Amino acid sequence: MAPPLLLLTDITLTLGGKPLLDGAGFGVSPGERLCLVGRNGSGKSTMLRIAAGELQADSGKRFLQPGTTVRYLPQEPDLTGFATTLDYVRAGLGPNDAEHRAPALLYELGLTGEEDPRRLSGGEARRAALARALAPAPDLLLLDEPTNHLDMPAIEWLERELAALPSAIVMISHDRRLLQTLSRSVVWLDRGVTRRLDQGFARFESWREEVLEQEERDAHKLDRQIAREEDWMRYGVTARRKRNVRRVGELAALRQARRDAVHNPQGLKLEASGTGLSGKLVAVAEGMSKSFDGRPIVSDLDLRVLRGDRLGIVGANGAGKTTLLRLLTGLEQPDSGKIQLGASLALVTLDQQRRSLDDDATLSDTLTGGGGDMVQVGTEKRHVIGYMKDFLFRPEQARTRVGVLSGGERARLMLACAMARPSNLLVLDEPTNDLDLETLDLLQEMLGAYPGTVLLVSHDRDFLDRVATSIVASSGGGAWTEYAGGYSDMVAQGGGLHGSAGEAVAGAGKRRMAPTAPKPAARKLSFKDKHALEQLPKQIAGYEADITRLRRVLADAGFYGRDPAGFARATEALAAAEAALAGAEERWLELEMLRDSVGG
């Protein structure tokens, strides 16, 4: 094996009197693709800053192979002191780097190079910083949330660009699809220490469960107590995954209902609702058009949103996703055509800027409205501490000021506020920004249980696959096309966002899609796939029975003392059964999604 380009060993760091890193470390070899994962606040960005040499650890060693070129993409790039974006990118080039890469990458990312850094939006600054990091083609790339503020065409371009680079990469991201595509190893930062899995991210979540369950067994054997908060927040992952397995079947049924409604809209009428539900038709657009300064945003759109739909809206930045949301909720009126809203709508909006949060209020007061210790959640009252736990907050955070919360914590707080308000129409504009993977699972579970209708703008392809019943995609020139299913279903039906990121931003080079019925996917389930679908539930039940039996055996406090070798064999058998169960469930999920995308 080649010597590492970068090696961090026994890194410790204390922030605010609290140990953040406690003996953490990892190594990166030439060409290696590694993702750094962990919950919000676990220290991932801090670890990456130490790796980049921008932050000094309290103790431990950082070794960088002499002559290694490193480029670091922070979450909040600083462009001050540069006259143009091109000057900023060129400043990151070395003496032997190709200068043409700077303007070429800026163009690919939708920038001209002449922009004034002082007037850039967050997304534009992010694109310029990406160009600066990528232009030298360094030996080692350190990327902290590279997809933040990027639209879907830019994310797909970045995925292709990173895959083609010879550089070693260490990446922090909440974008599961990007991690699955690029990563070859995973470093998990948890409670100040790091664990490494030399497999891709696709294997990470089942491996994490195995590690945590083994920890739980070890703690039980040694008669240690695990705090209730950690037990729910960490060891509840398995239960959530089992609920998500069930959710795939429910989502398949919803998508089939949506597919039927798209092809057979007759007989639907606006009607009054009862018991807090909206009407069966939530919104009906007929020939709806909207333009700004002569530029078409929505052109002659016909669309029906039904009660219970989870409608994902996708497109490049500037395509008009937010405008379409405002039209569908009656906040904006069309120039021509009409939009009619259903009866008894109770709307709650979760916006990505989180403007409604008061930085000076405490977390508890934000949830309760300053009225005591109870939160009104729908028709019931809940104690604020219990409700906080549902959103992964610790009891001692109740009196914490909102202004000191991290970006991920603020996102969870907005989600908690939104879910507490009575509603039957939930509008989510980029809800996955700043959320860690466990919180994304929590959000997916909550949306799965939500009884109303969801309108969702997102650039997260995996999240759309897990949540959406249909996708409305921009195809340029104000044209929008609906596809039943999630993002992968849209691609299977011939849809997608094409062209480079720069072309998408400029509105050129994209394939125009006529508003016709989508083509069916060409691929069908093979005989082998169908047989596996029939057999996998039986296999899963068998594995679960084995796991239950082995756990019962290992729960015997005297087993290890009587038969250490037997205890070891039972432990190994349990680990093997759990790994087999995870593999069988993943295969079943994959086949169920395939069957849903091809309609059986």
The model's pLDDT over 428-452, given as tens digits with 9 standing for 90+, comes to 888 877 677 877 887 888 888 888 8
| Cα gap 446→432, rounded to integer Å | 13
The identity of residue 493, as a single letter, is Q
pLDDT, position 244: 59
C-beta separation of 147 from 178 below 8 A: yes
| Residue 176 φ/ψ, nearest 5 degrees | -55, -40
Q: Which residues 6+ apart lie within 8 Å of 108 measured at CB?
A: 131, 157, 161, 500, 501, 502
Helix (H, G, I), strand (E, B) or coil at 388: helix
C-beta separation of 323 from 298 below 8 A: yes
Over residues 363-397, the pLDDT tens digits come to: 999 898 877 888 887 677 889 898 888 888 888 88
User: What's the burial of 526, exposed, middle or buried (CB within 10 Å: 0-12/13-18/19+)?
Assistant: exposed
User: What's the burial of 358, exposed, middle or buried (CB within 10 Å: 0-12/13-18/19+)?
Assistant: exposed
pLDDT, position 599: 57
CA atoms within 13 A on the CB side of 446: 17
pLDDT, position 475: 85
pLDDT, position 267: 41
In the chain, how long is the greatest CA-to-CA distance? Answer: 82
**Given phi > 0 = left and psi -120 to 50 = alpha, else beta, which region is 19?**
beta
Of the candidates 186, 189, 191, 192, the one whose C-alpha atom is nearest the C-alpha of residue 171 is 186
pLDDT, position 522: 41
Checking 369-377 for CB contacts under 8 A at 24+ apart, the result is 375/420, 376/420, 377/419, 377/420
Structure tokens at 433: 């920004």
Crossing angle (nearest 10°) for helices 527-554 and 564-597: 150
Task: Give the bridge partners for 73, in sequence order.
Answer: 143
pLDDT, position 439: 77
| Cα gap 397→405, rounded to integer Å | 10
Q: Look over the chain and give the mean of its residue pLDDT values, rounded to a whole number.
A: 81
CA atoms within 13 A on the CB side of 536: 20
| Cα gap 416→435, rounded to integer Å | 13
Edge-to-edge strand ranges of the sheet holding 6-15: 18-28, 6-15, 59-64
Q: DSSP alpha helices (H): ranges in 22-175?
A: 44-52, 85-90, 101-108, 122-134, 152-164
C-beta separation of 413 from 442 below 8 A: no
| Cα gap 212→381, rounded to integer Å | 33
C-beta separation of 349 from 510 below 8 A: no
| Cα gap 415→392, rounded to integer Å | 11
Which secondary structure element, helix H or strand E, spans residue 19, and what is its range?
strand 18-28
Find how far residue 293's CA is from the centre of its chain: 34
The CATH number assigned to the domain with range 523-600 reads: 1.10.287.380
Q: Which fold, 6-197?
A: Rossmann fold (3.40.50)
C-beta separation of 347 from 427 below 8 A: yes
pLDDT, position 54: 93
pLDDT, position 404: 83
| Cα gap 541→537, rounded to integer Å | 6
Structure tokens at 76: 């909040």
pLDDT, position 73: 95
| Cα gap 315→478, rounded to integer Å | 11
pLDDT, position 351: 62
Are domains 6-197 and 523-600 of this chain identical in fold? no
pLDDT, position 299: 93
C-beta separation of 500 from 153 below 8 A: yes
Instruction: Flag residues of the chain having pLDDT under 70.
Output: 1, 16, 219-250, 255, 257-279, 351-355, 378, 434, 496-524, 557, 586, 589, 593-594, 596-600
pLDDT, position 139: 95
Q: Where are the domains of the chain?
A: 6-197, 523-600
Structure tokens at 335: 């120039």
